[in-house]
Structure 1
Amino acid sequence: MTQWLIYCRFNKPLIAQLQRTADAAIKNRVEPEPAQTESLATALTQADSQLCDNIRQLLFQQRVFLRANLRLTDLARLLEVPEYRISRLLRSQFHASNFNQFINTLRIEHAKTLLSDPDKGHWPVVVIGLESGFASVGPFTRSFKTMVGYTPHEFRQTVHCREQ
């Protein structure tokens, strides 16, 4: 990759020529017939629908979001699709601003469940964070406070006060 970047930096005239060639090819492209476009859109929609189902399966049933340091690349590798497709569907179908925000939302919801569970009341906050997929307590506490408005400890106290 580094070699390619160096090559591009020192061969700008060649890159400009390639760009002009690509632009000309796009302008001269033959548009498909409307019937072809509709069947292509249907196939794409079915493929995206299947991919959405696969994403739901991985995230909600297999609970992959609980893996520490989960990245979009990991999800793409598991689903055997390009990252951009997952990213696009997360924005359009799951209403997420980005992958990390979406995963952290799922993790915080899981942490809220654990913090509310009286059987896990003796678990330290760090353990709740680790069990929820965060790599350490700092990012867990910051994300939790940003999304919920309380620290995990304050949330636990609030929930337990309501129960009594």
Structure 2
Amino acid sequence: MLSFIMLSNPLKVNKKANLWFGIALFLWSTFWLDEILMLIKAEPLSELIRPIISFIQFFTPILFYLSIVFFTNPNHKFKAKDTTLFVLPIIYLVLVILNKTAHNNLQTYIIILVLTNTIIYIIKSYLKLRTHRRKITLFSSNTDDIDLKWLENIILVIVVMVVVISAFNLIYIGLPLNLYLNIIMLGTSLFIAYNALKQKEIFPINEKHREEVIAIENDEVTNNTIKRKILKDEELVELKSKLNLLMKEKHLYLDQDINLASLSEDMQITPHQLSYIINNGFNQNFFKFINSYRIDKAKILLLDKSLDKLTILGIAYESGFSSKTAFNTTFKKLTNQTPSEFKKQSSKL
């Protein structure tokens, strides 16, 4: 059912990523077929089907990794180097065939290879997610809904479960998983379903804007400064002044959904040019640039005695933040204080 939710993708967001994720979840669900076959005592059928199923199951962490690749880059194109994805599956297939035909007891080596395959792609997935969380600050002002933190949490659960299940299989070969492990997996499935049904589109829908944003992500970035010069110095000064004036007069930062692409349209320049202006002109990334204005607005509201009845959530919305959590986190990150601490300290002055 969880696989069906991801494949049907009712919200129509992150389409390629959810397609691969849905397939990975479907393969994940087949790990319970062994228990079903054992319960219905279908041993002859089990012996015939198990090697085929186990080979298909081996691709589960690989497909999960591919889903992360497309979550972090929806325009990813398969290249020749991606054929390395098939190296471990081929080795696994050879071991399975030898284990069956030569009657060698290679089960321990097979389990170790499964564990190795899982750990390799889980680590690669985790590293991609960490890089993604840093890069989205280049084009988004509200990152909480698109930072894919929920996938990081899933990875941590999967790592623990892989170790526990592998140890279980090594010690109790042939026995079904116990009730407690299955309950944990059910809870993980429900957690995935909850987060999958509230995910948002990570990158701009407009294909041109999407390509430019991804190109910005792929630029060599050091200390938030794009090295490649794409504007003359005099143009940079002029556009920097225009951007500053636009933000102060039209208060565009109050738009919760503002991103690099939408602001570049207001500036009538490309997202790449806008990113260059923010990085080199203001020495900030897009996230910090927009939220600096929001924090300044929030400070004014927090110090306004006539707004004492306004809640922290109300101030967050009035300042352009999409949630109380995002407001508190960003305020703390940029000022080293929570909004409540800032208001309390300011009232004593």
In the superposition, the TM-score normalised over structure 2's length comes to 0.34
Matches within 5 A, 1:142-157: 142-157=329-344
Shift of 1:161: 2.6
- The answer to whether the Cα contact below 8 Å between 1:69 and 1:134 also exists between their aligned partners in 2 is no
Distance 1:127 1:145 in 2: 17
Distance 1:131 1:4 in 2: 38
Distance 1:3 1:141, change over 3 A: closer
Distance 1:2 1:115 in 2: 40
Residue 88 (str. 1) matches residue 160 (str. 2): no
Distance 1:142 1:4 in 2: 31
Distance 1:149 1:45, change over 3 A: closer
Matches within 5 A, 1:70-149: 70-96=258-284, 98-149=285-336
Residues 62-121 of structure 1, C-alpha deviation per residue, up to 9 Å, x if partnerless?
Answer: 11111112101111111221111111111222121x101111111111111110111111
SS at 1:5 equivalent: coil
SS at 1:78 equivalent: helix
1:69 matched residue in structure 2: 257
Distance 1:3 1:148 in 2: 36
Does 60-69 or 50-59 show the bigger shift? Answer: 50-59
Residue type of the partner of 1:70? I
Distance 1:2 1:101, change over 3 A: closer
CA-atom RMSD, angstroms? Answer: 2.5
- The answer to whether the Cα contact below 8 Å between 2:236 and 2:281 also exists between their aligned partners in 1 is no
- The answer to whether the Cα contact below 8 Å between 1:90 and 1:99 also exists between their aligned partners in 2 is yes
In structure 2, the gaps of 5 or more residues are: 1-72, 81-230
SS at 2:348 equivalent: helix
1:161 matched residue in structure 2: 348
Shift of 1:2: 7.1
Residue 5 (str. 1) matches residue 77 (str. 2): yes
Distance 1:118 1:99, change over 3 A: same
Distance 2:317 2:244 in 1: 22
Distance 2:292 2:306 in 1: 23
Distance 1:4 1:92, change over 3 A: closer
Residue type of the partner of 2:329? R
Shift of 1:48: 2.8
Distance 1:112 1:49 in 2: 28
Residue type of the partner of 1:159? S
Matches within 5 A, 1:4-43: 5-6=77-78, 9=79
Distance 1:92 1:118, change over 3 A: same
Shift of 1:132: 0.6
1:21 matched residue in structure 2: none
- The answer to whether the Cα contact below 8 Å between 2:237 and 2:281 also exists between their aligned partners in 1 is no
In structure 1, the gaps of 5 or more residues are: 11-42
Does 145-154 or 82-91 show the bigger shift? Answer: 145-154
Distance 1:4 1:127, change over 3 A: closer
Distance 2:307 2:75 in 1: 53
1:60 matched residue in structure 2: 248
Distance 1:138 1:3 in 2: 31
In the superposition, the TM-score normalised over structure 1's length comes to 0.69
Distance 1:4 1:140, change over 3 A: closer
- The answer to whether the Cα contact below 8 Å between 2:247 and 2:253 also exists between their aligned partners in 1 is yes
